[in-house]
Chains A and B, each alone.
Chain A
Amino acid sequence: MKNKLTIATLILGVLLTGCYPGGPEYTEELDVALTNFKDDYDFQAQTTYAMPDRIVKITGNITEGDEPEFIPDISANAILDMIESNMSDLGWQRVGIDENPDMLLAPAAWETTTVFWWYDYWGWWWGGYYPGWGCCYWPGYYPPVYVSSYTTGTLVMTLIDPDTESATGTPISQWTGAISGLLTGTYNADRIERAIDQVFAQSPYLKTN
């Protein structure tokens, strides 16, 4: 009877641990597009905007007076073209910064690398190492430690009204669009274009025409 019970428990355990639900399978499945806006701002009353020719790269270690870093021009130009195309479709006209634009569109990008590690956490059971189970590893058996990392890239676009500022004198973002995804080491224009298009598609209140 005990054998039957043990076998039934083991079979159930193996079946259940083997079929824990999965998750994303492809890198692009992790792409997200986010937008936020101030609903008391009248976007329809605006028609022109200015945008820089470069995209600043936020590194977090710049000090006052330093020249900021920028993402490579070849990538920046493609991204700025995508933004301009979407803004144009919504009825906006891009003008120079010295032509008194109604709004400023400020793009910025950054990368975040997350490093993580883990032990072979089953190891303690059959004689490996597990934190807190120092007594149980085989002599000469070193703890298996795995290290990995992933890097995400984020592009943020902000629309600012140069005539409006907060009580402390800082500019107010009237609209923010952001795209974020896992970086693969190669520039993938299709993924970026799809995400930028989505940001503007889910912002119909920006339409001025």
Chain B
Amino acid sequence: MKKILIIIFSFACLNTFAQGNIVNIQYAIGFGTGDLGDFIGSPSFRGFVFDYRNKINDNVGLGLEVGWNVFYEESDYDTYTKDNLSLTGKQWRYNNQLPMLFAADYYFSPDQTVNPFAGLGIGTMYSRRNTDMGTYSIEEEAWHFALRPELGVIYEVSSGFGLAATAKYYIALESGDLPTQSYVSLNLGLVFMPY
């Protein structure tokens, strides 16, 4: 708890040196990889990412990221066997991913209309997996330690407003009921740079 307070306080102090804020609200399409991709092969077209960065100098922004993607797949009527037990029916699979990260970005061309950047996020991700069959639902959940590298570009349309395209790769390490969960997120966003 003490560490969390120190981190929050540190971010609050950054305002002292603020050279501008960036708010990026993005529509996110997710593609599961690894265990998540095996569980649900379909991409997630339901998701968003909210990014906030406080620029500590022209090239570096520090801040927070909160996002959500729900992966969903309806499987065919099929038989699922484990050892001597076989279960036949339709399955509805859901995987909710909620990353909450501290993030740092490096902006390569801060004074240009087209401003590419690279970033890294670190924090936690909440995963909830539901496997529904018949009137039953198996629920597994976990709070993971998560990492997220990112590449993106901001196109400044007018003063204080722009568009963004980003690619993020989330890696949430094995925890709770679930193994490592990972997915790629391709995002299109509206960028607001109030000051």
A residues sitting closer than 8 Å to B (CB atoms) are 1, 4-5, 8-9, 12, 15-16, 19-21, 23-24, 29-39, 114, 150, 152, 180-182, 198, 202-203
Neighbouring B residues of A5 by C-beta, 8 Å = 23, 25, 192
| Most chain A CB neighbours (cut-off 10 Å) among B47, B88, B94 | B88
A-B contact pairs, 12 of them (CB 8 A): A12-B25, A16-B48, A20-B70, A21-B46, A21-B94, A24-B90, A30-B135, A32-B88, A35-B85, A36-B85, A37-B84, A202-B86
Known: A9-B25, A16-B48, A19-B46. A32 touches B134 (CB 8 A): yes
Q: Is B132 an interface residue (CB 8 A)?
A: yes
Instruction: Please tell me if the beta carbons of B85 and A181 are within 8 angstroms of each other in the complex.
Output: no
A33-B134 Cα distance, complex, nearest whole Å: 9
A8 touches B133 (CB 8 A): no
Number of interface residues of B (CB under 8 A): 31
B161 within 8 A of A: yes
- Among B47, B79, B90, max chain A CB count under 10 A is at B90
* Contact between chains at A198 and B48 (CB < 8 Å): no
CA distance A16 to B25 in the complex (A): 13
- Nearest Cβ in chain A — how far from B55, in angstroms? 17
The answer on a CB contact under 8 Å between A29 and B90 is: yes
- Interface residue SS majority, chain A: mixed
Contact A21 B70, CB 8 Å, known A5-B192, A152-B135? yes
Q: Which partner residue on chain A sits nearest B45 by CB separation?
A: A19
In the bound complex, residues from chain B placing their C-beta under 8 Å from that of A30 are: 89-90, 134-135
Contact B135–A150 (Cβ < 8 Å): yes
Complex alpha-carbon distance, A38 and B84, angstroms:
7
The answer on a CB contact under 8 Å between A16 and B46 is yes
Bound: A152/B134 CA distance, A: 10
Tell me if B6 is interfacial: C-beta within 8 Å of chain A: no
Q: Give complex CA distance A31, B92 in Å.
A: 13
Q: Which residue of B lies closest to A29 (CB)?
A: B90
Pairwise interchain contact A12-B133, C-beta atoms closer than 8 A: no
B34 at the interface (CB under 8 A from A): no
Chain A proximity of B150: nearest CB distance (Å): 19
A12 vs B86: C-alpha distance when bound (angstroms): 42
Closest to A150 in B: B135
User: Is B160 an interface position by the 8 A CB rule?
Assistant: yes
